[in-house]
Amino acid sequence: MYALKIPLKEAEKIKNILIENNLLDFNRMIDVNKEYIFFPVLDYKNKLLKKYEIIEHNLKIKEKKQNAKQKLFSILNKDEINNLKTAFDIIGDIAIIEIDDNLKNKEKIIAKAILDTHKNIKTIVKKSGIHDGQFRTQKTIHILGEEKKISLYKENNIKLKVDVDNVYFSPRLSTERKRIMQQVKKGENILVMFSGVAPYPIVLSKNTQANSILGIELNPQAHNLGLENLKLNKIKNVILINGDVKDIIMRLDQKFDRILMPLPKTADDFLDSAFKVSKKNTIIHFYDFLSEDNFKEAYDKIEKACKKNGFEYKIQSTNKCGQHAPYVFRICVDFILTKESTKQ
Ligand SMILES: C[S@@+](CC[C@H](N)C(=O)[O-])C[C@H]1O[C@@H](n2cnc3c(N)ncnc32)[C@H](O)[C@@H]1O
């Protein structure tokens, strides 16, 4: 068995060359002594290795396949590991990773480690900003694998076509969708404000005995994917409307049993609209971004809007359903209207 014999001081540089050129054999162990490091290489005849010494050396076969994290820990140095964000979102076969500025020159290596260790992932893109603008979209930049931005995602017995650049979608909310779905009772008429590519409407339709679900979404690309997703899941009791929640609600003469408001940044702007289509016993799921010691702000917004619209209410539960930023949570306050409005 052979190995590439490299003086220790050149180890980091050569390791990067091997990885970048797909020459490092990840299935065998690297060996070191006081002066040299011995790399297992996939192709010892490769031109790039001509100027280095190749010797007979026994390099052990790795017993267990490494996961991406283990692989990266053997590839990156200490500082780089400290800057590494190991959590990433997977939407279908696209992985969305975050690359710290000081790791920019290692992004392909990081992407390759993920591709090599996740058979289900075909494309790696990186976030190039935060969720932004009225449509709450987030741009990404392709790094490795198939060049595509649309993928098929699965959760809670449903399939969704998602465009990672042009619509909002978060796989991290699948548990929250399940939480809501488990509350829905037979025959409910449900309004999903800000329906996006229709994850909530489709999860609720597929997994509950709701009577009807109406979704309203402003972003035409998200709305169109939502319509495709209804067909993909053979959904019959969901209607999706493309438009502004405030305008569309003015034209509705229906009251709902349950209203979802998954726009945490500005949901309180839409509470008056929600109350226009609410009645006694309507349950509202109100989302907000708040730090742990500020949850009261959400209760205050609900209290103020209920008072203004003549409703009495009872808070049923407050649920943390994700982390938005350090110490800031995405929360959902579930509340029920306990009496008809005195102002309708
Ligand atoms: C945080 S995303 C949630 C999307 C979807 N419910 C989900 O969970 O994937 C909020 C969505 O609200 C939409 N939106 C923003 N303002 C709106 C408005 N005034 N009327 C309707 N939709 C709106 C955005 O385009 C975006 O798709």
- The predicted-structure confidence for 268-322, as pLDDT tens digits, reads as follows 999 999 999 999 999 999 999 999 999 999 999 999 999 999 999 999 999 999 9
Nearest CA to ligand 1 atom 25: 135
The number of angstroms, rounded, from the C-alpha of 203 to the middle of its chain's C-alpha atoms is: 16
Out of 155, 170, 217, 260, mutate this one to test ligand 1's pocket (max ligand atoms within 8 Å of CB): namely 217
Counts for the chain of helices (H) and strands (E), in that order: 10, 17
pLDDT score of 240: 98
303 Cβ contact partners less than 8 Å away, ≥ 6 residues apart? none
DSSP string, 209-258: --SEEEEEES-HHHHHHHHHHHHHTT--SEEEEES-HHHHHHT-----SE
Please list, residue by residue across 171-190, b when 16 or more beta carbons sit within 10 angstroms of its beta carbon and e when fewer do.
bebbebbebbbeebeeebbb
Specify the amino acid at residue 304. Answer: K
Nearest CA to ligand 1 atom 1: 263
- Sheet of 89-91: strand order equals 89-91, 94-97, 123-127, 140-145
Say yes or no: CB of residue 202 within 6 Å of ligand 1.
no
pLDDT tens-place values along the chain, 344 residues long: 899 999 999 999 999 999 889 899 988 899 999 999 999 999 989 998 999 999 999 998 876 666 777 777 777 777 777 777 767 899 999 999 988 888 888 889 888 888 888 889 999 999 998 888 999 999 999 999 999 999 999 999 999 999 999 999 999 999 999 999 999 999 999 999 999 999 999 999 999 999 999 999 999 999 999 999 999 999 999 999 999 999 999 999 999 999 999 999 999 999 999 999 999 999 999 999 999 999 999 999 999 999 999 999 999 999 999 988 889 999 999 999 999 999 87
Ligand 1 center to residue 261 CA distance, Å? 9
pLDDT score of 63: 66
> Which pTM was predicted?
0.80
Neighbour tally for 80: CB within 10 Å: 18
- Sheet of 31-32: strand order equals 31-32, 36-39, 2-7, 53-56
- H or E stretch including 249? helix 245-250
Sign of CA dihedral 286, 287, 288, 294: positive
Q: What are phi and psi of 169, to 5 degrees?
A: -160, 135
Nearest CA to ligand 1 atom 16: 134
By DSSP bridging, strand 36-39 and strand 31-32 are antiparallel
Atom of ligand 1 nearest to the CA of 173: 8
Ligand 1 center to residue 110 CA distance, Å? 32
Say yes or no: CB of residue 180 within 6 Å of ligand 1.
no
Specify the amino acid at residue 97. Answer: I
The number of angstroms, rounded, from the C-alpha of 68 to the middle of its chain's C-alpha atoms is: 19
Ligand 1 center to residue 297 CA distance, Å? 22
Ligand 1 center to residue 179 CA distance, Å? 19
Ligand 1 center to residue 229 CA distance, Å? 16
pLDDT score of 65: 63
